[in-house]
Structure 1
Amino acid sequence: MATLIKPGPPDPSKSSIESNLFTNTRPLWHPPGARGIYGGAVIAQCLSAAQRTVPENFTVHSMHCYFVLAGNADIPIIYHVERVREGKSFATRTVQARQRGKPIFTTTMSFVRENSGGKQLVEHASEMPDIAGPVDEEQDLRSPQGSDGPFQSQRIDILNHDSASPHEKKTRQWVKARGRISPSGGHQAHLSALAYMSDSYFIGTVARVHRLWRYAAPRNADGSKATAMIDDDVVKKLRSMDDDTLARMQGMDADVIDEVRKLKLDNNNNNDGDAKASTAAAAPRPEVGMMVSLDHTIYFHNPREFRADEWLFTEMESPWAGDGRGLVFQRIFTREGKLVASCVQEGVVRLKQPADSKL
């Protein structure tokens, strides 16, 4: 993140001009098959830009975002910070991310002055569920953005996965930033990293609790989306891989991999595994036709009491889906069980429609 307008040396005879324009210095990640850049990157960079315009003793406590247009990874993004309010206890910032002169993302953030709540406080917090800690062995980690991606994750089995009610299921994972965040970034760097990771598999929770097919669609030579297919040959190839190789696969939906693992287990217990694989591959199962985020909200609860480069536990659930949209709630805890953030996201979740259907 770099400012576009660098302030000159102070001149007491002139009024100060504050720098409110920022841009990214590196291309942002475009997930395979996605309509645009990874939303968490824009969220994090908007937060980073806004944090540079508030006093050091002010910390973000809420962030309300809207995804307007798909971002292009090949074009720099201009982040314009508007200083909406400067209060004694609270400050408000609005950031608009623009490409080609058009807004692709907008967010409003509220910052609170540290220790402004007084000596006597009203306090309570949800407790972290009793869950096994992360396994630190490298082979058990996922790198959603490739081996050089900025964060790592470790999936945990979906709670109540066999329930017939999607709203009863909870998807869970451990996440952390790769490597060690430099002390020079201060607490702001950890907040930006958490904001970045908060978008990981977020609206995808709806697809997972409904057990929808979801995997990156291939592209034709002209860049258009090709027909997404998974056939017997693909399933057989996946079944031939060991679990470590499956865990490292990029761009393949976790539920597809889970299904393959189940097929492998069936094959170990039944010599008719190939028939089962063929049946599973051909069985009619709803497929995601479109899934994009519409909005994203983060409430930061203990913004200076966690490290994003240490394991954080996330739990997501979807209380509702309908009318082509889905809603997901997320809670983020430290490994020690402290609730550090609550997030909400709504997104478009449309099924692939039959060829003869008309909307």
Structure 2
Amino acid sequence: MSKELQDLLDLLDLERVEEDIFRGVSRPSLVPRVFGGQVAAQALVAAGRTVPANRPAHSLHAYFLRPGDPGVPIVYTVDRIRDGRSFTTRRVVAVQHGQPIFHLSASFQTYEEGLDHQFPMPAAPDPETLPTAAEALPRDLPPDVAKRLIEARAAVDLRYVDAPPWGTVGVPREPHSQVWFRTNGKLGGADAGSLLHVCLATYVSDMTLLDSVLLAHGRGGWAVGDVVGASLDHAMWFHRPFRADEWLLYDQESPSSGGGRGLGQGRIWTADGRLAVTVIQEGVVRVPRG
């Protein structure tokens, strides 16, 4: 296991302050706010720790309310909304400086058999044939930007099928992107579909989902400063068990942008073709003035 992955696991290992109150810290941020995927993953950890282990998460719906302060711990308060025979519902509010910064509702379900179908997995090259995120960085990126991009993804082996937005600035492309990802090291002891794997996928899901919005307009995003953005809301549905330390294909597209917002939707597939997760997110996408 890489040191960076261990640091991420430590980040998700929240301190339990009271029965339903947890506290988490943040990792250094590329921008002066907490990474949205971190808050969502930590909130899901808090919710999951109040639910029996035999009820895995099957969905989450969240709103980002205020920018998080990377220098201050985040307090997560869990509200036990419902404990039914098959489903468990939890609500989590993340608080800093006495104000809510994030709100999550998550649902958990006891496994049961049912009707089963899925879309076919889209075509994608073998991830082992693709360059790593560090190898794929354009050579003309400012050194400080390149360094921050590498550090932000050090815990995850992330491989773009095509060039990322900052690799083709000024050239509008189809609003569609694909990345393969897995943790940068093996996760021993955690079963497929367990809370750890689900929370790690939640963390990664916020890294690239709005890339397809940028691609449609030939924008490079925060990496080159031609767009100001932030997550507004985030929803995920977990369909089938998966492991975050094995290759997962994240197929993403943007059906629409407008009004200073962009919508991204994605599907996460296991390497053997099982649809594991569906993700939808809307975010602020603004062009800086002047």
> With structure 2 as the length reference, what TM-score do the two structures score?
0.82
The offset of 1:79, in angstroms, is 0.6
What is the rounded CA distance, in whole Å, between the counterparts of 2:221 and 2:153 in structure 1?
Answer: 24
The residue aligned with 1:236 is none
* Equivalent pairs, count: 257
Matched-pair contact (CA < 8 Å) for 1:158–1:169: no
The offset of 1:204, in angstroms, is 3.1
Confirm whether residue 3 of structure 1 aligns to residue 16 of structure 2: yes
Confirm whether residue 142 of structure 1 aligns to residue 80 of structure 2: no
The offset of 1:214, in angstroms, is 2.5
Seen in structure 2, the aligned counterparts of structure 1 residues 301 and 352 have a Cα distance that, compared at 3 Å, is same
Which letter maps to 1:4?
Answer: V
The residue aligned with 2:53 is 56
The residue aligned with 1:114 is 111
What is the rounded CA distance, in whole Å, between the counterparts of 2:255 and 2:246 in structure 1?
Answer: 29
The residue aligned with 1:30 is 29
Give aligned-pair identity as a percent.
Answer: 34
Cα deviations by residue, 1:57-85 (Å, 9 ceiling, x for unpaired): 11111100101111111111101110000
The offset of 1:102, in angstroms, is 0.7
- Structure 2 residues without counterparts, runs of 5 or longer: 1-13, 135-148
Cα deviations by residue, 1:28-66 (Å, 9 ceiling, x for unpaired): 3412xx341111111111111111101121111110010
Matched-pair contact (CA < 8 Å) for 2:26–2:34: no
The offset of 1:101, in angstroms, is 1.1
Matched-pair contact (CA < 8 Å) for 2:157–2:183: yes
Match for residue 208 of structure 1 among 212, 215, 236: 215
The residue aligned with 2:182 is 176
The residue aligned with 1:312 is 248
Matched-pair contact (CA < 8 Å) for 2:175–2:212: no
What is the rounded CA distance, in whole Å, between the counterparts of 1:184 and 1:113 in structure 2?
Answer: 18
Confirm whether residue 350 of structure 1 aligns to residue 280 of structure 2: no
Seen in structure 2, the aligned counterparts of structure 1 residues 184 and 172 have a Cα distance that, compared at 3 Å, is closer
The residue aligned with 1:266 is none
What is the rounded CA distance, in whole Å, between the counterparts of 1:38 and 1:325 in structure 2?
Answer: 18
What is the rounded CA distance, in whole Å, between the counterparts of 1:310 and 1:97 in structure 2?
Answer: 30
Larger % of strand: which?
A: 2
Please show how residues 68-147 of structure 1 align to structure 2 within 5 Å. 68-115=65-112, 118=113, 121-135=114-128, 140-142=131-133, 144=149, 146=151
Seen in structure 2, the aligned counterparts of structure 1 residues 100 and 344 have a Cα distance that, compared at 3 Å, is same
Seen in structure 2, the aligned counterparts of structure 1 residues 169 and 148 have a Cα distance that, compared at 3 Å, is closer
Seen in structure 2, the aligned counterparts of structure 1 residues 129 and 297 have a Cα distance that, compared at 3 Å, is same
Q: What is the RMSD computed on CA atoms of the aligned residues? A: 2.4
SS in structure 2 opposite 1:146? helix
Match for residue 270 of structure 2 among 330, 334, 350: 334
> With structure 1 as the length reference, what TM-score do the two structures score?
0.67
Cα deviations by residue, 1:2-40 (Å, 9 ceiling, x for unpaired): 2012xxxxxxxxxxxxx100111x433412xx3411111
What is the rounded CA distance, in whole Å, between the counterparts of 2:68 and 2:229 in structure 1?
Answer: 15
- Structure 1 residues without counterparts, runs of 5 or longer: 6-18, 218-227, 229-286
The residue aligned with 1:251 is none
The offset of 1:124, in angstroms, is 1.1
What is the rounded CA distance, in whole Å, between the counterparts of 1:55 and 1:308 in structure 2?
Answer: 21
The offset of 1:182, in angstroms, is 2.9
Matched-pair contact (CA < 8 Å) for 2:176–2:215: no
